[in-house]
Structure 1
Amino acid sequence: MLLKVRVLETREIFFCSPVYALNLDKDRIALWNFLEHYSTFATGPWMALGDWNAIRFHSDKKGGKKVPQRILNDFNDCLHKAGLSEVHPTNGEWSWCNRQVFLRRIFVKLDRVFLNERWIYSLPGTKVLYTSAACSDHYGMSIHILMEFAAGPKPFKMLKVWCLQGCVQSLVKKAWDNEISGNPIHVLLQKLRLVKKALKDWNKNCFGNIGEKLIKSKHHLDEVQLELLRDPSENNFQVEQEARLDYQAAVVDQEVLVSQKSRILWLKDTDRCTSYFYNKMKQHRNFNAITLVKNDSG
């Protein structure tokens, strides 16, 4: 089922698919095909949630018989083709228990929430919590959609992309070599402050904003290539080659930055998965966000 929901106040539209999957793996094939098919119709933010009666990894089950890898692969292949990413609950690992005793007790993660790329981009503050299971063998799920907010000044972070620039090493060395007197801890802190200031000034005045550089280099390349079509001279060809190299360098800088923020370390230099890493970055930021503080009074 694919429900189309419109928010009356904002007129925004999103899609929702409540799921109750059948118990046998062969009977779930129709559901996997449905999700793959309807992913093309969910042109806006899309959430699929419910009791999937399936696990994605062997670690999603504790106790009982081991689930064949083939069944896990069918579920994960469906999610990949449908472009759905899981929102992991922040307060638990299991959503179902058979309520048996000792060795016969089984815990399984059956209830899940999945979002498409548009939802993650538009509503990155979506969280899932498991609730109590007083009258059922399933725990309930509570979904919270939180808006992003400004969190004050951002802490300084050393960007990996800076290390690709040849002048950074000498810049750091020059700042570090400043003579400072005092005890070793004081000297260390002062040197770190000097390096931080030198890098921030260099980034602001020389290196610049990576996103803006990417947009400007792409715009410049488009203009140069149009001019080359009008006048295919040797001079315009050389200008186009230089503009192309500038744009390719900006793309590499952007991918290095996004891969660092997403904490995905296995990105290969030839990959072009920028949107995937943006979504991972948003999910990581969402997972680390503190949205509730509980004191001794509750």
Structure 2
Amino acid sequence: MEKVKERIGLANGLIVPSEGKSGGIALLWVKGLDVEIKSYTRSHIDAIVTDPVSGFKWRITGFYGNPDTNQRRESWNLLHFLNTQYQLPWVCLGDFNEILKASEKWGGPERPQHQMEGFRQVVHACGFQDMGFEGPEFTCSNRRSEEERIRLRLDRVLATTEWKEKYRDAKVLHVVESTSDHCAIILTNQQVRRRHKTRQFHFEATWLRHEKCREIIQDSWKDQAGLQSSSELVKGLKICTEGLKIWSQHDLGHVSKKIQEKRKILQDVVQADKDCSRGDEIDMLCKEINELLDDEEMRCNQRSRVQ
């Protein structure tokens, strides 16, 4: 998680580490934002945020419901307890590991009513309202074959009326993730803006996987074999650089751009897959995205060493 924190540029935060491969929760924020941590466990982080412009104070809780149904009551008791601590406009978000109604589950056995009722009761007691969402209806899938596939809406954003009235433009996005069986849940009141900048040439270690890279380098230097002067060296480097640039742009494309394009396709396919008939297509897209992510990780590691 520390690597993720560094990569996305969030200087401050609290990370509650996982035990082995399970659990773990974090709350990260940008430098200069006034955030006061009030309490935390392996299942939650509770904090007060002060708006830097208006001074408006509100509460945020990141929450993880116990995956064991026999211990789910402990999760609801924790939320009840947090509700008694102090009263501020409140937003609570995370993976609650439970649904509010039967229509939030597709496939598999029916959810017991008493199991959902515990969640409904604590949502009502805290004065929460569901923030709704844009994107696929379900946030979690076991990604098995069509007959065995189960999908649920386990992840959500809940907020009190006071918080919703203050942040009327806030919306929730369900974003399909190729590396997880859960969607990413994004709460935002802004349009995503992309910054474009001119990038210097970097030789990417991932290019070495391609035979064409070797051919371009060899062809670029075959007429500069003698290297009688520094000008010939510069000329050879320029020819090689331009050749690799053209090849990488046309044959490989920008890795980040390809990831975004394929993620958009994945998002659309998952949202359209109402009857779970496109599982193989979804799995293939996830595999392709993960391979591109591996390339991107290699590039990032290479550049961090250069810096």
Structure 1 or 2, whichever has the larger Rg, is 1
More strand by share: 2
TM-score, normalised on structure 1?
0.47
TM-score, normalised on structure 2?
0.46
